[in-house]
Amino acid sequence: MPARNISIPNQPSNVTNQTITSVSREHRKFRPSAEFQRQANLGSYAAYKRLYAESVNTPNKFWGRQAKELLTWQKPFKKVLDWKLPHAKWFLGGQLNVAANCLDRHLGTARENKAAIIFEGEPGDVRTITYKQLHREVCQFANALTALGLAKGDRAAIYLPMVPEAAVAMLACARLGVIHTVIFGGFSSEAIKDRVNDCQAKLVITADGGWRRGKIIDLKTNVDRALAGTPTVEHVVVLKRTGQPVAFSEGRDRWWHDLVAGVSAEHKAKGHDSEHPLFILYTSGSTGKPKGVLHTSAGYLLGTTITTKYVFDLKETDIYFCTADIGWITGHSYVVYGPLANGATVLMYEGAPNHPEPDRFWDIIDRHGVTIFYTAPTAIRAFMRWGDDYVKKHSLKSLRLLGSVGEPINPEAWMWYHTLIGKKRCPIVDTWWQTETGAIMVTPLPGVTATTPGSCTLPFFGVVPKILDEQGKEVPRGGGGKLFLKNPWPSMLRTLWGDDERYKKQYWSELPGYYFAGDGARFDEDGYLWVVGRIDDVLNVSGHRIGTAEVESALVSHPSVAEAAVVGRPDELKGQALVVFVTLKNGFAASPQHKEELRAHVAKEIGSLARPDDVRFAAALPKTRSGKIMRRILKEIAAGGTVKGDTTTLEDFNVVAALQSQEE
């Protein structure tokens, strides 16, 4: 292969200080239609530029105005920002109630009897809850929690399925100033115990069970096991969802329905300080125990409210469906707080996307008239794998906007999403952000930005992304490096719960004065941002540092490949040899010829530099429960060793066993 095939598109020849070699060649541009632009909340590039310039040049003025316009305050703030690196305090002196911003302020308006939540359970049960009804339920539950002895500043763990009561529990805590920590319903007893103990929760709110692929997940049993080692927990509130018998600990456990029976639905929301902690959300670190990311009240609410309004172009008539579980930050920010603060109608679905058939989401979209759909690339690749016929059975004509979050979306999946789901009519917002950032940071605005498949494009208001090399120098456009954020933003994490030293070290020590996102990225010639994956996953092949996402994207562009994961294996000659794990689409078979074809395909797409040394076919890839591929495990398998590290966040251990058993 001639050397020019491994050169970097768009890259000036004098780029020498880059940290990562970027190999993507995607140039296609998709502009918003005039029709979309006309109705958009922000409909011109000039308007975006003007607001963006204001947000970074005079951030206090910009955020002060937005906070007054978008939030309802019980006591006005005196100072917009107090920034003592790396600790930010926003909207000092102000008081508000997050739950009242999501509920009470819509009462007495046209939204009062509008659906706040349209819920569909996996078995097919549907419930519509208006803003007035949701307010009632939250007030009642808040009163019940108070009667149980919960008070402002206490911690409560929420371990529930994707049911409306999950939002009720979060909002009731927020209303009281009780700090919630939501634990994803797929986590084990061990994970519950660690999290409850780390934040010393007084209360656990759970259910008897939840539905997943036609089976019951035994939530209460998991809680009971965890609670053998959690001395701080005084009570467990149990929602009856699935109805199977569960053990009950007298005095400690209370049924949700008993607890609220006869309890008043009147509750006056008190104002809490802007910086009062709203929630802790645990996110796994690459090593060690999970990090308790702490978000506070006003700044977080402002970040989620303003991004929901502009990124999702939210209108009163929208029916908005975000497929994330409330156990993840996406569920917090874009199922509960952002949409409800905007008075949106949120569609909430309890179960699996392939139950009873792999067209459940498309069926939901058609039956409920969903207009905005927000999901993850891992889900999109699964849909592609299940086959187009499941999509084609449904019209999807109500959709007007699509979103993607959680990992880089490979252009192949982007195009499929655009064509099959969006019918080439819906803009796609590929939103880059993190648990730590609280809200969307880099994203297209649907009425403004010409999108390019695979790029999350331009910074949102107030966000200043920088690509820097090892010396902290800016990498010119086209070159890859580490992604940092300059300047604080309202929805940023404030610290890690109980471990401020780790907060400083993890996020603020890579380069003094900058927030280190932990991702590798580059700007292209247009200034669009491309995230190529976690820095820890960058491969070093013959002196070139290559992001896994780009090689994976090349593999997925082959018609037979459903999903791919690329890892490095130590190699004496090259530093690292490339080992790829591939799952094939239905109808394609694994064979030695096929391996060769895929190796040649990557060499053609990227250059011989990236030709995989080894291709392994797999029925499935090991993933976390939030859908991220666990490359650490694949690395161990590729190196021929056994899987030793922590596997508690793994969705299905059988996947690992199957991969290990097929080792040569």
435 contributes a contact to ligand PRX by CB under 6 A:
yes
Closer Cβ to ligand PRX, 351 or 408, answer by number: 408
To which residue do tokens 């509750």 refer? 267
Residue of 123, 143, 122 whose CA lies nearest to 263:
143
Selected binder of ligand PRX within 5, 17, 221, 283 (CB under 6 A): 283
Residue of 390, 346, 301 whose CA lies nearest to 586:
390
Closer Cβ to ligand PRX, 237 or 517, answer by number: 517
Closer Cβ to ligand PRX, 462 or 518, answer by number: 518
Shortest Cβ distance from residue 483 to ligand PRX (Å)? 8
Selected binder of ligand PRX within 456, 493, 539, 638 (CB under 6 A): 456
Q: Is 472 left (phi over 0), alpha (psi -120 to 50) or beta?
A: left
Contacts of 221 (CB under 8 A, 6+ apart): 246, 247
407 contributes a contact to ligand PRX by CB under 6 A:
yes
* Count of beta carbons in the 10 Å neighbourhood of residue 453: 23
Selected binder of ligand PRX within 517, 561, 610, 621 (CB under 6 A): 517
431 contributes a contact to ligand PRX by CB under 6 A:
yes
Q: Which stretch binds ligand PRX (CB under 6 A): 238-246, 348-356, 404-412, 558-566?
A: 404-412
Q: Which phi and psi angles does 345 have, rounded to 5°?
A: -100, 120
Q: Which helix (H) or strand (E) holds 329?
A: helix 329-331
* Residue 187 · residue 234 · CB < 8 Å: no
* Residue 238 · residue 269 · CB < 8 Å: no
CA–CA gap between residue 189 and residue 91 (Å, rounded): 38
Closer Cβ to ligand PRX, 323 or 626, answer by number: 626
Closer Cβ to ligand PRX, 434 or 495, answer by number: 434
For residue 203, the cross-strand partners are 156, 235
Shortest Cβ distance from residue 336 to ligand PRX (Å)? 14
CA–CA gap between residue 533 and residue 546 (Å, rounded): 10
> DSSP states of 387-450 as a string?
-THHHHTS--TT--EEEEESSPPPHHHHHHIIIIISTTTS-EEEEB--TTT-S--B---TTTPP
Per-residue string for binding with ligand PRX, 531-570, x by CB under 6 A?
Answer: x--x------------------------------------
430 contributes a contact to ligand PRX by CB under 6 A:
yes
429 contributes a contact to ligand PRX by CB under 6 A:
no
Q: Which stretch binds ligand PRX (CB under 6 A): 33-41, 424-432, 445-453, 574-582?
A: 424-432
CA–CA gap between residue 194 and residue 200 (Å, rounded): 10
Shortest Cβ distance from residue 351 to ligand PRX (Å)? 21
519 contributes a contact to ligand PRX by CB under 6 A:
yes
Closer Cβ to ligand PRX, 159 or 374, answer by number: 374
Q: Which stretch binds ligand PRX (CB under 6 A): 160-168, 511-519, 592-600, 641-649?
A: 511-519
330 contributes a contact to ligand PRX by CB under 6 A:
yes
Closer Cβ to ligand PRX, 150 or 278, answer by number: 278
Q: Which helix (H) or strand (E) holds 66?
A: helix 59-70
Residue of 194, 113, 204, 126 whose CA lies nearest to 164:
126
Closer Cβ to ligand PRX, 390 or 414, answer by number: 414
Shortest Cβ distance from residue 118 to ligand PRX (Å)? 23
Selected binder of ligand PRX within 256, 433, 503, 528 (CB under 6 A): 433
Q: How many CA atoms lie within 13 A of 556 on its CB side?
A: 28
Taking CB atoms, the residue at the shortest distance from ligand PRX is 435
Q: Which phi and psi angles does 292 have, rounded to 5°?
A: -90, 90
Closer Cβ to ligand PRX, 203 or 517, answer by number: 517
624 contributes a contact to ligand PRX by CB under 6 A:
no
Q: Which stretch binds ligand PRX (CB under 6 A): 81-89, 271-279, 413-421, 433-441?
A: 433-441
313 contributes a contact to ligand PRX by CB under 6 A:
no
> DSSP states of 159-187 as a string?
E--SSHHHHHHHHHHHHHTPEEEE--TT-
Selected binder of ligand PRX within 131, 417, 432, 617 (CB under 6 A): 432
CA–CA gap between residue 599 and residue 481 (Å, rounded): 26
Binding region for ligand PRX (CB under 6 A): 283, 329-330, 405-408, 430-435, 456, 517-519, 531, 534, 626
